[in-house]
Structure 1
Amino acid sequence: MGINFSEVDGVIFDLDGTLVASSLDFRAIKTHLQCPLEQDILIHIDSLTDPHQQQLAHQYILDQELADAQQARWLSRGQQLVAEATQHNLPMAIVTRNSIAATQLKISNNQIPISLVITREDAPPKPDPTALLSVANQWQIPASRCLYVGDFIYDQQAAQRAGMQFLMV
């Protein structure tokens, strides 16, 4: 599971399950929010018609993410990939469905050396490719020369929709 750096001019990473371990229990979260197991949690919350219920659901997700962020630690494979990209002097970014608060906590606690970060507050969440394309645009690198590294089907779908290379970890 390596990267052919001759074909890559920039590397974008997912956060949870890719760079850091996450213990979020999505089944329990969905059950608490009365979200069907087959439905995306964020789409479910956005579909709630009562603004108060929507606010409570967003707060519940944030509370779960922040609790998880306290425990999140580097994954050795993620740390290795960041080191390899650094050795090749490649620009790096993180695109995550996490909140900015949880993301900043995970990055800070683990001293992850990546400053360009896009969360769900900054762009539509994956599998929407907007965040990935925004990074490629900021770098002025064709999307086809960027690599997105992730661990979930949404990561793969976002990379495909953006026309980027993808590495499943």
Structure 2
Amino acid sequence: MFHNIDAVLFDLDGTLIDSAPDLGAAADKMRTDRGLASLPLSHYRPMAGAGARGMLSVAFGLTPEDASFSALREEFFVNYERRLVEQTYVFEGVTDLIARICLGGLKWGVVTNKSARFTVPITQLMPLFNTAQTIISGDTTPHAKPHPAPLLEAARQLGLPPSRCVYVGDDERDIVAGRAAGMPTVAAAYGYLGTTSNTSDWKADFTIEQPAALLNLLKMP
């Protein structure tokens, strides 16, 4: 159990919300528009946390080094903007978790690598985020995770030392960033997990298999 914690910070995709259906659909439309066969969501889901890079790698086998990557990334972004929350939903148990955090007197917020172009409308459209006291996007600071800068900015906005903020995420870079920022960390094993499912390698302080399990780690009234 954590002690002397005043805030909980969360990654967004794969931790609070399941955006894989909309991310995958945005990329898959690019395939079908080119006469290629549609791929099932199960192909896209594991890489949803990597955003455009992950989706284009699944859809076309592309990497950021490919000459066509930038143009296709913008096409993907446009597709995604048109359907940001059509099929995106809050993970089961997250709404109750946030309510308990608020009732317990803790602050909470979001630190994501998703750019503000998408983070702002998503968090405005989904009621879950009405009580969030900080939302840091991937372009809020000069560096994205695994650099600690976004987490340090979130702590600054909350007026708290980093050591009094817990960070919860479903990718190894979340844990690396949290540790670099001096925050206790929790691995969300129910999320996308990127290319590995062995969360024990991430060296998080704790791992949870469902959102509600976080409550067991937080000392609240």
User: Contact (CA 8 Å) 1:95, 1:117: kept in 2 or not?
Assistant: yes
Q: Does 1:168 align with 2:195?
A: no
Question: Which one has more relative contact order, counting CA pairs under 8 Å at least 6 apart?
Answer: 1
User: Contact (CA 8 Å) 2:134, 2:157: kept in 1 or not?
Assistant: no
CA 1:65–1:121: 2 relative to 1, 3 Å: farther
Deviations 1:28-74 (A, max 9, x none): 41253721xxxxxxxx3xx67x7x963x2442342354335332111
User: Contact (CA 8 Å) 1:70, 1:105: kept in 2 or not?
Assistant: no
> 5+ unaligned residues in a row in structure 2: which ranges?
24-43, 48-53, 189-221
User: Contact (CA 8 Å) 1:11, 1:147: kept in 2 or not?
Assistant: yes
Candidates 7, 13, 34, aligned match of 2:62:
34
Give 1:108's aligned residue: 124
CA 1:71–1:104: 2 relative to 1, 3 Å: farther
CA 1:152–1:83: 2 relative to 1, 3 Å: same
Residues 27-66 of structure 1 correspond to what in structure 2 (within 5 A)?
27-31=54-58, 32=60, 34-35=62-63, 44=64, 54=70, 56-63=71-78, 65-66=80-81
Bigger-Rg structure (1/2): 2
Give 1:39's aligned residue: none
Give 2:156's aligned residue: 137
Q: Partner amino acid for 2:78?
A: D
Report the more deviating stretch, 59-68 or 145-154.
59-68
Report the more deviating stretch, 136-145 or 68-77.
68-77
Give 2:28's aligned residue: none
Q: Specify the SS of the correspondent of 2:146.
A: coil
**1:155 CA drift (Å):** 1.0
Give 1:9's aligned residue: 6
Q: Partner amino acid for 1:145?
A: R
Q: Partner amino acid for 2:95?
A: Q
Q: Does 1:122 align with 2:140?
A: yes
Q: Specify the SS of the correspondent of 1:98.
A: coil
Using structure 2 for the length normalisation, give the TM-score.
0.60
CA 1:143–1:63: 2 relative to 1, 3 Å: same
What RMSD, in angstroms, separates the aligned Cα atoms of the two structures?
A: 2.5
Tell me the distance in 2 between the aligned counterparts of 1:65 and 1:162: 31
CA 1:84–1:70: 2 relative to 1, 3 Å: same
Q: Specify the SS of the correspondent of 2:186.
A: strand
**1:108 CA drift (Å):** 2.8
Question: Quick one: percent identity of the two aligned structures?
Answer: 26
> 5+ unaligned residues in a row in structure 1: which ranges?
36-43
CA 1:109–1:138: 2 relative to 1, 3 Å: closer
Q: Partner amino acid for 2:62?
A: Q
CA 1:69–1:96: 2 relative to 1, 3 Å: farther
User: Contact (CA 8 Å) 1:14, 1:155: kept in 2 or not?
Assistant: yes
